[in-house]
Every structure is written in structure tokens, then in C-alpha cells.
């Protein structure tokens, strides 16, 4: 009875604690004593940290999100795998101390990773790990306190090792690289209303990849401006489908396309960012399919690694091609065969402050959904995706490719990408996922 009262008190404390939305959805599953999965707490915690700390342009937006998610996920994977090595490690990992508790080790890996990645929120991370260890002590009375302590310290050591492995990966360099804008047709310039200059992530394509040989390994073939006939078609498409209503211009976008554009727009301040949304989907898939610790850790880590390398690939292409956004193209058009509309504004109103080609959304989405296809061995799979932009609205998909397509082309309907950028991004993501899955964290 005392144990039940303790659990209730801890849960109440978690819910009233400042910014305590750090735990994943459906908390009850995290307290399934027969199948504890403490990793889910930390996955939820980092998504919430991204909402609070990492979605603003000044904090790197989506590219930083992919890095922190990958560090946490790989740390948890290698920690769990050390207790029963059935998959390849990402990095060389020592065996845990004899008798060390695996759940305490997960708590240690999560805590150490987030303390290093988000030191401004140490009280939150401390609350989570102390809650987890308290539950272990109360609910698993056969575990010695020394085994809990040794497990926790082991997990911390793995988390520190993965963090140090990425310490000099080039991500600390200035995300805002000054550029001299030529204002030549087809080239990127900052867009209204923010006119952020310099644009974000100019050197991210040179960050050390997690698995790829270079950031340009799967560089896509080039933006639509290089292909005049295709560019004309896609210009006219986004002109009508991507425009904001209420400004006196014809809108050809359907209500479903408008919904799609809003649902997948999660990069504004206080939202998950696209990588956070896809990562949240991954751990919910693991939770809902009752994956064990090892399966969860591998599935989530593969997802995280693929989208981290997708970010490097996409940002390599963005600054290699330096292609303009639809708003700049339509407002500054000099092609006599196409209409110029000085008052044109995209549906999303705020154009992302970095070059258009290739679509980051599409590259992330192509990578994670292809990874899930590889993992399950099928494209047909029923799963749910949540969106911070439409709280309480869940999208249910019956295939991974359906999500990849809708996520990618939503950027056309939002008025911030041409269709080729989305298609090529999905294709690049597929190549990245196949590369990762065939070479990393494989079954032994």
C-alpha cells in the first residue's frame, strides 16, 4: 500500500513540476512493472526540451534537434545492448559491472546525456532519474541498492562517452554564416517578414556525419530552376497551391492540402521541430507495439541516426545550390513567361530562413519512414502521428510511404518549397536510411 501511495505522489509531483511535460504520452505504460521501459521517459524529455530550448532560429532549429536526439538515442542503445549484446554497438562499450541494474543504467544514460545537452534544465533531469530509481527501489525489492547505483553510474559513463565522441563534430561552429547575396534569378535571398540574415546552418553540411562518408555522399541532383520546363510547371503549382488566402489572389489548394500544410508545420517557437515530431512518432510506435528494451533502443537509435545524417545531407545541398524560395521567386520573377506577383505571401507566412533546395522536411521524412520500412520489412503499417500545430489532432496512416509523401508535399501547400525539392528530399532520405540500416546496429 505504501508503494502505491509513493507512486501516486511521484506522479502528481511530475505533473505539477515546472514544465513537467517531460514524460512521454500514456504514462501508465512506463509503469508496467512486467515490462518497464525507462527509455521512453527520456525520449519524451528530449522532445520537450527541444520545444522549450531548440525550436527558435537562434538555437539552430531542426539541425540541432537531430544532433541532440541522436546523442541521447545512441547512448541509450549502447547502454541497453551492453547488458546482452545482440546488436552491433555504435561505439565501443565496456561490459556493465556484475549485478548492475539495466533500468538504472538507462536512467544514467538519459540523465547524463540531457545534463550535457541541456544544462539549463538540470532540475528536471534530476527529478526524472530520482523518480526512476525510487520506483526501482520500491517496486523491485530484490534489487540491491548497490546494483542500482552501479547501473546508474555505468549508464552515465556510456552517455558521457557518446557525447564526447561528438564533441568535435563541427556542430559548435557558427550556425549563422555571412553570405554575399547576388540577387541573381534563382539564388536565395532572405524572405519577408523576418528577413533573417545570415541564414541558418551555413556550415551544417560540413558536420561530421554519423554514418556517411561525407555530407555530400547523397547530394540530390539539383533544384527546379535548372530545368526550365519543370520549373515553369512547379512555379505555377506553388503560385496557386501555396498562397495565403485573404490577399486577393486565387487559391487552388484543397481543404485537405491546407490541413496537411498546417499539420506538418512544427518548426515555430515552442514546437517539436520536424525531427522531434518524427522522433516522437518512432518512440510511440515502439511503445504501442510493446517493444522490449533492446528493440526499442535499436529502433529509436536507427531512426535518430538516419535523420541526423539526413540533416547534414539536406543542409549540404541547401548551401551548395543556394536556391531561392517560392516567395522570392514569385515576387522577384524576371521570366516573361511566368506571372510576377509582388503581393504574394505563402500560406505559412514565415518562410524558413535558409535556402530552399533540398527540403529538410522531406529528407528527414524520407529517411525515417524508409528506416521503418527496413525495420519491419514492409511498407504496410498502421500508426499514428501527432502534431504540436494541431493539438489533439492525430493523423492515422496505413503505410510509411503515405506519411513520407504527405509530409514532403505539405511544404508545397505551405508555399515554402517547389515539388522537386520535396521529391528529391524523399529520395535522398531513402538512400541515407538504406545506407544506415545495412551497415550499423545490425543483429549479431
CATH number at residue 379: 1.10.606.10
- What DSSP line would sit under 41-101, residue for residue? HHHHHHHHHIIIIISSGGGTHHHHHHHHHHHHHHHHHHHHHHHS--B--SS--PPPPTT--
Identify the domain boundary among 107, 135, 165: 165
* Residues 101/314, Cβ–Cβ less than 8 Å: no
215 and 160 in one domain? no
> What's residue 182's pLDDT?
85
- Enumerate the β-bridge partners of residue 187: 323
pLDDT at position 187 over 70: yes
Which strand (E) or helix (H) includes residue 214?
none
d(CA 332, CA 348): 19
In angstroms, how far is CA 336 from the centroid of its own chain? 40
Is residue 400 domain-resident?
yes
120 and 217 part of one domain: no
pLDDT at residue 12, rounded to an integer: 34
Distance CA 316, CA 220 (A): 10
Instruction: Evaluate if residue 199 carries a pLDDT over 90.
Output: no
> Do 30 and 144 have their domain in common?
yes
For residue 7, the model assigns a pLDDT of: 38
Distance CA 436, CA 313 (A): 13
Residues 291 and 391 placed together within one structural domain of the fold: yes
Q: Rounded mean pLDDT of 165-181?
A: 85
- Do 281 and 383 touch, CB atoms closer than 8 A? yes
C-alpha cell at 153: 553510474
Averaged pLDDT score across all residues of the chain: 90
Residue-wise pLDDT tens digits, 28-44: 333 333 346 999 999 99
Average pLDDT, integer, range 131-157 = 91
pLDDT for residue 303: 98
Residue 285 has pLDDT above 50, yes or no: yes
Residue 291 lies in a domain: yes
What is the extent of the structural domain holding 27?
2-165
Task: Please report the pLDDT score of residue 194 as a whole number.
Answer: 76
Q: Which of 19-23, 84-88, 307-311 shows the lowest mean pLDDT across its residues?
A: 19-23
In angstroms, the Cα distances linking 186 to 146, 235, 424 are 64, 12, 18
At 11 the pLDDT is 38
Number of domains in the chain: 2
Percentage above 90 pLDDT, the chain = 80
pLDDT category, 269, cuts 50, 70, 90? confident
Percent helix, percent strand, percent coil in the chain, to nearest 5: 55, 5, 40
Position 284 in a domain:
yes
> In whole angstroms, what is the distance from residue 146 CA to residue 157 CA?
16
For the segment 191-212, the average pLDDT, to the nearest whole number, is 88
- Per-residue pLDDT band for 268 (boundaries 50, 70, 90) equals confident
pLDDT digits (tens, 9 = 90+) for 424-438: 999 999 999 999 999
Lowest mean pLDDT among 166-170, 268-272, 304-308, 415-419: 268-272
Q: Is residue 266 situated within a structural domain?
A: yes
Q: Calculate mean pLDDT across residues 154-168.
A: 98
Q: What is the mean pLDDT of residues 158-181?
A: 89
Query: Sorting pLDDT into bands at 50, 70 and 90, what band is 174?
Result: low
Q: What is the pLDDT of residue 29?
A: 36
Q: What is the mean pLDDT of residues 191-216?
A: 90
241 & 127 share domain: no
pLDDT higher than threshold 90 for residue 138: no
3-state secondary structure labels for all residues of 217-267: CCCCCCCHHHCHHHHHHHHHHHHHHCECCCCCCCCCCCHHHHHHHHHCCCC
Q: What is the band of 56 on the pLDDT scale with cuts at 50, 70, 90?
A: low
**CA quadruple 110, 130, 123, 15: dihedral sign:** positive
Q: Is 397 helix (H, G, I), strand (E, B) or coil?
A: strand
Residues 129 and 251 in one domain: no
Same domain, 375 and 309: yes
Residue 187 is assigned to a structural domain of this protein: no
pLDDT at 25: 36
Q: List, for residues 220-256, the tens digit of each pLDDT value.
A: 999 999 999 999 999 999 999 999 999 999 999 999 9
332 and 384 in a single domain? The answer is yes
> How many percent of the chain have pLDDT more than 70?
90
- CATH number for the domain including 112? 1.20.144
Same domain, 126 and 223: no
Q: Which residues contact 163 (CB under 8 A, 6 or more apart)?
A: 71, 75, 112, 113, 116, 117
pLDDT at 143: 87
* Domain stop point among 141, 165, 189: 165
Q: Is the pLDDT of residue 21 over 80?
A: no
- Residues 159, 211, single domain; the answer is no
CA 73 to chain centre: 12
Residue 292 has pLDDT above 50, yes or no: yes
Residue 54 has pLDDT above 80, yes or no: no
pLDDT confidence bin for 59, thresholds 50/70/90? low
390 and 318 housed in the same domain: yes
> Between these two residues, 191 and 94, which has the higher pLDDT value?
94
373-409: pLDDT as tens digits: 999 999 999 999 999 999 999 999 999 999 999 999 9
Whole-angstrom CA distances from 107 to 43, 76, 131, 146, 267 are 11, 9, 10, 15, 29
pTM: 0.92
On whether both 318 and 228 belong to a single domain, the answer is yes
Asked whether residue 444 is domain-assigned, the answer is: no
Residue 189 lies in a domain: no
Q: Is residue 182 part of a domain?
A: no
How far apart are the C-alpha atoms of 430 and 444, rounded to whole Å?
24
Q: What is the mean pLDDT of residues 169-187?
A: 84
pLDDT of residue 183: 85
Which of 138, 165, 192 is the endpoint of a domain? 165
CA dist 43 and 55 (Å) reads 17
The whole-number pLDDT of residue 154 equals 98
Amino acid at each position: 500500500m505504501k508503494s502505491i501511495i509513493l507512486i501516486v505522489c511521484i506522479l502528481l509531483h511530475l505533473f505539477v513540476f515546472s514544465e513537467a511535460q517531460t514524460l512521454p504520452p500514456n504514462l501508465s505504460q512506463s509503469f508496467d512493472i512486467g515490462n518497464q521501459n525507462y527509455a521512453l521517459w527520456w525520449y519524451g524529455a528530449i522532445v520537450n526540451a527541444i520545444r522549450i530550448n531548440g525550436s527558435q532560429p537562434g538555437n539552430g532549429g531542426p539541425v540541432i534537434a537531430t544532433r541532440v536526439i541522436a546523442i541521447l538515442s545512441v547512448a541509450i542503445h549502447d547502454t541497453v545492448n551492453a547488458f546482452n549484446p545482440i546488436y552491433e554497438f555504435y561505439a565501443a562499450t565496456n561490459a556493465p559491472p556484475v549485478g548492475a541494474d539495466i533500468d538504472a543504467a538507462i536512467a544514467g544514460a538519459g540523465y547524463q546525456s540531457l545534463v550535457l545537452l541541456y544544462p539549463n534544465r538540470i532540475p528536471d533531469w534530476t527529478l526524472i532519474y530520482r523518480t526512476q530509481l525510487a520506483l526501482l527501489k520500491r517496486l523491485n525489492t530484490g534489487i540491491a541498492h548497490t546494483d542500482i547505483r552501479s547501473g546508474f553510474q555505468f549508464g552515465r559513463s556510456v552517455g558521457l562517452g557518446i557525447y564526447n565522441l561528438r564533441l568535435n563534430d563541427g556542430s559548435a561552429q557558427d550556425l549563422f554564416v555571412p553570405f554575399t547575396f547576388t540577387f541573381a534569378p534563382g539564388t536565395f535571398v532572405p524572405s519577408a517578414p523576418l528577413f533573417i540574415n545570415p541564414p541558418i546552418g551555413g556550415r551544417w553540411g560540413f558536420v561530421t556525419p554519423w554514418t556517411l562518408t561525407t555530407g555530400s555522399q547523397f547530394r540530390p541532383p539539383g533544384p527546379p530552376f535548372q530545368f526550365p520546363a519543370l520549373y515553369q510547371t512547379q512555379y505555377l503549382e506553388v503560385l496557386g497551391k501555396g498562397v495565403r488566402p485573404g490577399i486577393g489572389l486565387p487559391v487552388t489548394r484543397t481543404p485537405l492540402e491546407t490541413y496537411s500544410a498546417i499539420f506538418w508545420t512544427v518548426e515555430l517557437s515552442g514546437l517539436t521541430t520536424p525531427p522531434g515530431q518524427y522522433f516522437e512518432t518512432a518512440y510511440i510506435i515502439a511503445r504501442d507495439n510493446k517493444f522490449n528494451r533492446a528493440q526499442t533502443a535499436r529502433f529509436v537509435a536507427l531512426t535518430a541516426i538516419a535523420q541526423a545524417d539526413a540533416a547534414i545531407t539536406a543542409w549540404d545541398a541547401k548551401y551548395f545550390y543556394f536556391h531561392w524560395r517560392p516567395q522570392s521567386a514569385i515576387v522577384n520573377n524576371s521570366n516573361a513567361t511566368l506571372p510576377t506577383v509582388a503581393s504574394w505571401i505563402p500560406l505559412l507566412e514565415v518562410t524558413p530562413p535558409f535556402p530552399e533546395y533540398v527540403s529538410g522536411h522531406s529528407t528527414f521524412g524520407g529517411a525515417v519512414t524508409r528506416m521503418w520500412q527496413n525495420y519491419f520489412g514492409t511498407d504496410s503499417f498502421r500508426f499514428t502521428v501527432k502534431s504540436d500545430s494541431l493539438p489533439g489532432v492525430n493523423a492515422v496512416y496505413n503505410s510509411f510511404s503515405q506519411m513520407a509523401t504527405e509530409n514532403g508535399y505539405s511544404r508545397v501547400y505551405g508555399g515554402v518549397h517547389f515539388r522537386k525539392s520535396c521529391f528529391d528530399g524523399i529520395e535522398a532520405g531513402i538512400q541515407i536510411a538504406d545506407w544506415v540500416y545495412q551497415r550499423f546496429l545490425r543483429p549479431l
